[in-house]
Amino acid sequence: MNWLSRLLGTRPTPQLIDDALWQAQLARMPGLEDLPAERNARWRELTSRFLADKAISAAGDCELSDADRVLIAMLCCEPVLDLGYRWLRGWHEVIVYPGEFGVRRHHVDEDSGVVHEWDDTLSGECWEQGPVILSLADTIQAAEQPLSGYQVVVHEIAHKLDLLDGSLDGVPPLHDAGWHAQWAADFQSAYDRLCAQLEAGEEPPIDPYACEAPDEFFAVVSEYHFTDPELLAEHLPAVAAHLARFYHPALLAA
């Protein structure tokens, strides 16, 4: 950002991604052959802005090509294609590992005060006031070989959207009070039913990780919206309807 932009509090217009580079990334994703020109142009504009606005940093021994950076930015921007770029505000970096990465967890038991620690392996993580962290291998898989209910970038971006109102509770900032109340009621009802199924030993219709917490439920069903909206509509119709209203129709499922 140049000195005049800093003084005025504005950002320079980002340069559009090179056409050949953009088209090459589109070609990596199955199902985009008939992507409408308007949506293509909007996605390219948002992705260009993302690359100008946020750092994409390699961690460990990860090596990132220009193509990888564009692909990561594209996948981060897809969930906000209709919401708008302002929904990606408040954070400034994506950290990328070559594959799954290890983290050290700890939990303090409120009754005993005992601290429990354990190691965990992740393909993605979102820090409340920090970066999105991704596995490059899982990010590439999400683009090139999408699986039903698994899209690591969508999962982490959903957490960032959820956090915009300052609370990680599975409800993003919906400015329509009536919609907010209905969303909260429908999501809580669906979450409770899913947890009851799991506790009863039944096979849930979606990834049981959704039962970890209401915020994880929102992130997991967001993955299904972008990878298998038909399954979501069949088993969780009220949730699917809210997500269809909140997000755009999934590009790869259109």
Give percent above pLDDT 70 in the chain. Answer: 85
3-class DSSP state of 132: strand
pLDDT at 56: 97
- What's 70-109 look like in SS3? HHHHHHHHHHHCCCCHHHHCCCCEEEEECCCEEEEEEEEC
Q: What is the mean pLDDT of residues 242-252?
A: 86
Counting the structural domains of the chain, the total is 1
The H or E element that residue 5 is part of is helix 3-8
pLDDT at 108: 47
Give percent above pLDDT 90 in the chain. Answer: 76
* One-letter amino acid for residue 19 of the chain: D
* One-letter amino acid for residue 134 of the chain: L
Residue 126, by phi and psi: left (phi above 0), alpha (psi -120 to 50) or beta?
Answer: beta
**pLDDT per position as a tens digit, 16-39:** 999 999 999 999 999 888 899 999
pLDDT at 110: 56
User: 204 near 197, Cβ under 8 Å?
Assistant: yes
Domain hosting residue 67, numbered range: 3-253
Q: Tell me the CATH number at 53.
A: 3.40.390.10
CA distance 91 to 235: 34
CA distance 76 to 183: 24
Two tokens at 145? 């070989």
Burial class (CB in 10 A: 0-12, 13-18, 19+), 194: buried
3-class DSSP state of 205: coil
The H or E element that residue 138 is part of is helix 136-144
* Closest among 164, 171, 152 to 213, alpha carbons compared: 171
